[in-house]
Amino acid sequence: MMKVTLKRRKVVIVGGGITGLTTAFYLQQKAKAQNLPLDVVLSEASLRLGGKIHTVRKDGFIIERGPESFFDTSSSVRDLARDLNIEHEMIQNKNGRTFIAIGSELHPIPSNLLLGGSPDISSFMTSSVLSLSGKIRAAGDLFLPKLPHEADEPISEFFRRRFGQEVVENLVEPVLAGTFAGDVDHLSMHSMFPQFYQLEKDYRSLLLGMKKTGRGIYALDDTHGELHYETFKNGLETLVETLEKELADQSILKGIKVDAIEKLPDSTYQVNLNSGSPIQADMVVVTTPFNVTKKIFSDSEAIQQIPNMNYATIATVTMAFKKGQMKKHADTLNFFVSRNSDFAITTCTWNNRKWDDVAPEDYDSLRVYIGRVGDESIVELSDSEIEKIVLQDLRNAVGLTSSPIFTVVARWKESMPQYTIGHEARMKKMDEQFHKEYPKIHLVGSSYKGISVPDCVAQGKRAADKVIQELFESPVTP
């Protein structure tokens, strides 16, 4: 039998965040495993890889400037860690009490409420986070019928229908704003949390459905019966650093921006770089934020017909204190902040109560988010002004009595994509039209089908699978 020689192919990946790095890694792995002639080039506009994942290790503290953990309900990150031989470095959070700030007070909320797991309905109904009338209205979920869902709707409208306005204001909005920095009056229920529709369809009542299945915003951990955040013991950037080491044999271009991508007569693509040296590629995977991608494909009707995507601008503020400086809520793990509060921050977490070994033994490490859609001007203030505002909020919330030993402020401008009403339908239509214009280019990343680290890792792996299939397993023209 005559041996078939495969033509050498080249794939360019645009963007060196976690989606792009994952795509590059799995392309490399699959090419090695199948002995495929494949070259991979990754271009990143900044001088560092990892995108928003950025760990600082300082004086015994582990500080996350960007995301600090994830819920890995799909096991995509754990699978990647296993493939990288760093699964043993993954750790899970410690348990603690969660509060909601309403007015000037912190109110405890039941463990796992909305997030997932089996909610304690009795604790929910006795919590001070709701008034008596709010609890009565929320209990209506147990009796309300299920409704058909043909059109998309805002997150607030869905939960208001099931539980009432008070639950939206005092629970749903602060938890989601603290997690996704979004506006629940505009975020798409279909795109963000379709699992709640399935709960309503299968069980009619969300409370009963969550109790029976353990599903909420996140799914229940089938192994432990509890919800767990996860990260790596030396910080989330461990994942990025390991990926970069594994990709040492590939061509990684840092500080090189992709200006445009042109389709050539032979159905390959020319990737134009700001360095002036274009790259010819058989396929391209673009992982940049949508508004950046829109500039790259200025001639694409499919992309240009979509309005610019809204992004939330936020900042993370990490502070270190000697232990014993908080007069109130000494057992607090974290608290979310309602818009109906006297605070400027949106959420606060005690890092050292959530994770082992992120701070020296005698110190507290606090991580605060500020900024949300419609209230982003605070992020533009100076570091010292932001620190002053955060300290005042902490004095009022937990009785802070001292100044921080150090403060690290990290601004993330237009960093959190907002999946507004109709997002899923818009993206599906655009993707179908775009694939006709550029049949060998894939658009993936947080702008499209999930903003979490596990979502992005899963998208990157799927993109690698598609590229290998289309380049080497489908009939191709040499």
Residues 370 and 304 in one domain: no
Residues 424 and 411 in one domain: no
Span 419-431, pLDDT tens digits: 999 999 999 999 9
Q: Would you state the pLDDT for residue 56?
A: 97
Q: Is residue 64 part of a domain?
A: yes
Which of 78-82, 207-211, 218-222, 338-342 shows the lowest per-residue confidence on average (mean pLDDT)? Answer: 218-222
Q: Whole domain around residue 159: which residue ranges?
A: 114-213
Tokens of 1: 């039998």
pLDDT above 60 (res 1): no
Residues 292 and 424 in one domain: yes
Q: Is residue 103 part of a domain?
A: no
Most confident range (mean pLDDT) of 91-100, 234-243, 326-335 is: 234-243
Rounded to the nearest integer, the mean pLDDT of the chain is 90
Residues 325 and 407 in one domain: yes
Which of 310-314, 320-324, 339-343, 357-361 shows the lowest per-residue confidence on average (mean pLDDT)? Answer: 339-343
More confident residue, 369 or 150: 369
Which of 213-222, 235-244, 409-418 shows the lowest per-residue confidence on average (mean pLDDT)? Answer: 213-222
Residues 157 and 201 in one domain: yes
- What mean pLDDT do residues 257-269 have? 97
Which of 64-68, 107-111, 299-303, 439-443 shows the lowest per-residue confidence on average (mean pLDDT)? Answer: 107-111
Number of domains, the chain: 3
Q: Is residue 284 part of a domain?
A: yes
Q: Is residue 232 part of a domain?
A: no
Q: Is residue 104 part of a domain?
A: no
Q: Would you state the pLDDT for residue 74?
A: 84
Q: What is the CATH number of the domain that holds 411?
A: 3.90.660.20
Q: Is residue 108 part of a domain?
A: no
Q: What is the CATH number of the domain that holds 32?
A: 3.50.50.60
Q: Is residue 126 part of a domain?
A: yes
Residues 67 and 119 in one domain: no
Helices in 154-289 by DSSP H: which ranges?
Answer: 155-163, 165-167, 173-180, 189-192, 194-203, 206-213, 237-246
More confident residue, 122 or 352: 352
Q: Is residue 161 part of a domain?
A: yes
Residues 145 and 194 in one domain: yes
Q: Could you tell me what percentage of the chain is helix, strand and coil, using 3-state DSSP and rounding each to the nearest 5?
A: 35, 25, 40
Confidence bin at 351 (pLDDT 50/70/90): very high
Residues 301 and 429 in one domain: yes
For residue 181, give every residue at least 6 positions away whose Cβ sits within 8 Å of its Cβ, in sequence order, or none: 312, 314, 346, 369, 371, 372, 373, 416
For residue 162, give every residue at least 6 positions away whose Cβ sits within 8 Å of its Cβ, in sequence order, or none: 140, 141, 144, 200, 206
End position of a domain, from candidates 417, 441, 459: 417
Q: Would you state the pLDDT for residue 198?
A: 87
Residues 412 and 426 in one domain: no
- What mean pLDDT do residues 457-474 have? 94
Residues 413 and 323 in one domain: yes
Residues 327 and 376 in one domain: yes
Percent of the chain at pLDDT above 70?
A: 92
Confidence bin at 117 (pLDDT 50/70/90): low
Confidence bin at 224 (pLDDT 50/70/90): very low
Q: Would you state the pLDDT for residue 227?
A: 62
Tokens of 255: 């500080």
d(CA 131, CA 153): 26
Cβ density class 376-406: b for 16+ within 10 Å, e for less: bebbebeeeebbebbbebbebbbebeeebee
Residues 404 and 434 in one domain: no
